[in-house]
Amino acid sequence: MVISNWTPPDLSNSPAENRLVTTEPELSLARPLDRLAAAIIDIFILLVPLYILLSAPLKKWMMTSFILGSEPDFVVTILAMFFLAVMILVGYQSVCHHFYGATIGKRIYDLRVVPMFPGEKLVFWDHVLRSAIWVGELLCLGLPWLAVYSNPKRRPMHDRLCDTVVVTRAPSGVRGPLHWERSLVRTLFAALIGFMTLVVAIQIRGAIDKLKMEKSLAALVDRDLGDCEIVSSSVSEEDSDPHSRLKVAMTLYAAGLADRSCLESEVEGEIAKQIPVAPITYLAQAFIYADDAEISNSYLDEVCEMAPETVECSMSQLVTSWSDEDWSAVAEVLKAAPKGSGYMEVWGIRHYMKQAQYGNALTTLDGLLSNRELAEFSLVQRVKALFNFYKEPEAIAAFQQAVLSLPLEQGSDLSAWMCSQQLQNSCAAVSSPACAQALPDKAATEIDFEHTSQALAHVLALECKGGQGLDYMSFGEAVRDPDWQIFFAANANRTEDKKSSAELFAQLLRSEKAPELLRVEAARRWVALASPSQMQEVVESWLTFDSREGWVKIGNMLFSRLAEQKNAELALRVAQRLAADESLSPLAVKILAGITNDPDAVGERRPASNKAKEQIKQLLDSTLKREDGD
């Protein structure tokens, strides 16, 4: 409908929606499709890219709060993003309509927003109100905009409340809605109301059914969620700490007695029971997401932000230092950390065993005597710490006690480890209790190369029996593991081609993929084969060995071999490195006393003694200075 110089004779008697007066001669009502197209251009082409750019920091904060499970921060971030979107929409439309009469999308289609009544002038706040109502209609899925098909002047609510109308100069302008348009809108709204009534009825019915099942669902949650069997057997029902199960799960996980699925189950159980989030919750989540460094580190940071003076924060710092292989920082954290959590002590034992600090490991193990859930872990670690600390009689006694308490599989693994360690020192160990457990007569030639300690114990036992049943070439062809293939190839040529065998043993020693026990055995055999002129290469390989436990064992073997070859200078230098690390074995101390011809200064002191360490250091320093002077 083209409106040209049109003025009703009596405005006071005309309905408001029919009073369209404008000073511009050729204005028509805008087509609904043109208005829709203009809105699409404004929103999706102009404003959405702007919103994406401005909301980027908010999206990062939203993701961080979601990952950390911080519900208040997540809600605040969502509200901030919503508020930003509203401000962009309202601000853009208000400014464009006030200064230019149209947005960019409307100008493309030659549309304008003008006052409905003559003589009126729209102020800025009128446009702000119109834009705010327009955004509210948008949040209602745009359904109020369907008024353009039913209102006589095609004015939705935002136009009617602000006394505005959208017009166009283009010849594509339209008249008021036709009858079929109004009927279509009314039918659509009727169908929508019916659909919403149906949905509400279904939801009400579902809520009633849910209330009826409340007791059975609660029982289901109590039975299934957070039910990690090994944790259930270790937690007292009388414990009032709501996080007691999760703390036990953390301790068992640290000891290798539970896996990550157990931690995840306990965390889900706490969520289902609506137990408040605590530092231990974030700490457990850090281990659950250990495969994703960014998420895991976020949880670790959250622990110390929530409770900086707790054992959980100390554990967070320890894990970070452990990942960085900063062992001095790990030691400082262990020294300052609160005691009694269980999992912190287990990580301390793992650290001390890794760094060959067996005295500290034994001291920490003594503090876990009351932790019944760690009994299996403590028994195994005590045997290994005592043996590696050169207390073999005590280790044998602890072993005999452990195999009576441990499950069959763990007992077999410990027997194989103990047997292989003893056989590396002497073939007399073939008849020891550990070897009797690990090497039953009926399976003497059945070697399981999937378990390094068991396989090595079998090989060493066969060698101690004169090599009966041991065919290195056949074993090398049958075994699939490339490290064991190298080991058997080196042994097959040991008598005929010592140089080639030594090179293969050296290759196995330097392999980072080979099991540590096999690398130590390769070093023992390389040391036995190496000539005096080759010992310098052996020493250099030893100095770069990555495992502290293996480094100590190989160093003492190397020192004994150098002393046997009368290579006093190199032997003393190896001894000096071992003494500085408090790692000289009692046998090495005896040999050292003979090399220096000063047995009274050394005696048979244990390497853990600070006094012995100082005497050995002084002795080595003075001996090396004399040799350098000569």
Whether 617 has a pLDDT exceeding 80, the answer reads no
Q: What pLDDT, on a 0 to 100 scale, did the predictor assign at position 468?
A: 56
> HEC string of 566-598?
CCHHHHHHHHHHHHHCCCCCHHHHHHHHHHHCC
Q: What is the pLDDT of residues 253-283, one digit of tens each?
A: 988 888 888 888 888 888 888 888 889 999 9
| Three-state DSSP state, 122 | coil
177-204: pLDDT as tens digits:
888 888 888 888 888 888 888 989 888 8
**Residues 112 and 8 both lie in one domain:** yes
Q: In this predicted structure, what is the pLDDT of residue 147?
A: 87
433 or 238, greater pLDDT:
433
Residue 620 has pLDDT above 60, yes or no: no
Q: What digits encode the pLDDT tens for the residues 119-145?
A: 888 899 999 999 999 999 998 888 888
Tens digit of pLDDT for each residue in 446-488? Answer: 677 788 888 888 888 888 887 655 778 888 888 888 888 888 8
DSSP string over 268-330: HHHHHTTPPP-HHHHHHHHHHTTTSHHHHHHHHHHHHHH-TTSHHHHHHHHHHHHHTT-HHHH
- At 315, is the pLDDT very low, low, confident or very high (cuts 50, 70, 90)? very high
Give the pLDDT of residue 7. 35
Q: Work out the percent of the chain whose per-residue pLDDT is above 70.
A: 85
Across residues 364-375, what is the average pLDDT?
Answer: 86
pLDDT of residue 10: 41
145 and 239 share one domain: no
In this model, does residue 17 exceed pLDDT 50?
Answer: no
Residue 610 has pLDDT above 50, yes or no: no
pLDDT grade for 612, boundaries at 50, 70 and 90: very low
* pLDDT at position 345 over 50: yes
Range scoring the smallest mean pLDDT among 59-73, 407-421, 597-611: 597-611
What pLDDT score does 381 carry?
Answer: 93
Residues 257 and 158 in one domain: no
Residue 51: alpha-carbon gap to chain centroid:
32
pLDDT at 11: 35
Q: Same domain, yes or no, for 91 and 167? A: yes
Residues 167 and 299 occupy one common structural domain: no
Residue 624 belongs to some domain of the structure: yes
**Same-domain pairing of 274 and 400:** yes
Same domain membership, residue 149 and residue 295:
no
**Per-residue pLDDT tens over the stretch 406-417:** 888 888 899 989
pLDDT at 227 over 80: no
> What pLDDT was estimated at residue 384?
92
Q: Please report how many Cα atoms fall inside a 13 Å half-sphere around the Cα of residue 115, on the Cβ side.
A: 13
Dihedral Cα 129, 134, 137, 143, nearest 10 deg: 140
Position with higher pLDDT, 439 vs 319: 319
* Percent of all residues in the chain with a pLDDT value above 90, rounded to a whole number: 22
In a domain, 561, yes or no: yes
Tokens of 446: 């059945």
Give 449's DSSP letter.
Answer: T
Q: What is the mean pLDDT of residues 107-116?
A: 92
pLDDT of residue 15: 43
Residue 95 has pLDDT above 90, yes or no: yes
Q: Checking DSSP bridges between strand 27-29 and strand 111-115, what pairing results, if any?
A: unpaired
- Look at residue 3 in the predicted model and tell me its pLDDT: 36
Whether 426 is covered by a domain: the verdict is: no
Maximum distance among all Cα pairs of the chain, rounded to whole angstroms: 132
The pLDDT of residue 601 = 36
Across residues 109-116, what is the average pLDDT?
92
| 432: in domain | no
Single residue among 142, 177, 212 that ends a domain in this structure: 177
Q: What is the pTM of this model?
A: 0.61
> Are residue 234 and residue 153 in the same domain, yes or no?
no
Q: Is residue 247 part of a domain?
A: yes
Q: Which of 309, 314, 285 has the alpha carbon at shortest distance from 297? A: 285
pLDDT value, residue 212: 67
Range of the structural domain that residue 51 is part of: 2-177
Return the closest-CA partner of residue 127 out of 158, 86, 156, 98: 98
**Residue 331 placed within a domain:** yes
Average pLDDT in the 65-71 region? 74
Give the CATH number for residue 301: 1.25.40
Q: Which residues contact 3 (CB under 8 A, 6 or more apart)?
A: 20, 22, 26, 27, 28
Specify the DSSP class assigned to residue 174.
B
Q: Which residue has the higher pLDDT, 19 or 530?
A: 530
**Alpha helix (H) residue ranges in 325-471:** 327-336, 343-354, 358-366, 375-388, 392-405, 408-425, 433-438, 452-464
| Cβ(85)–Cβ(127) below 8 Å | no
- 62/161: higher pLDDT: 161
pLDDT given at position 131: 93
Dist. CA 359–CA 365, nearest whole Å = 10
Both 398 and 261 in one domain: the answer is: yes
Using the 3D structure, point to which of 113, 142, 177 is the last residue of a domain.
177
Is 239 in the same domain as 326?
yes
Task: Indicate whether 485 belongs to any domain.
Answer: no
Q: Point out the domain boundary residue: 406, 430, 449.
A: 406
Average model confidence (pLDDT) across the chain? 82
- Report the pLDDT value the prediction gives residue 156, as an integer from 0 to 100: 93
For the cut 50, the answer to whether the pLDDT of residue 225 exceeds it is no
Classify residue 26: in a domain, yes or no. Answer: yes
Same domain, 139 and 257: no
> Sign (positive/negative) of CA torsion 80, 86, 88, 90?
negative
Give the chain's domain count: 3
Closest C-alpha to 582, from 446, 389, 306, 421: 389
- Residue 450, by phi and psi: left (phi above 0), alpha (psi -120 to 50) or beta? alpha
Whether 173 and 308 share a structural domain: no
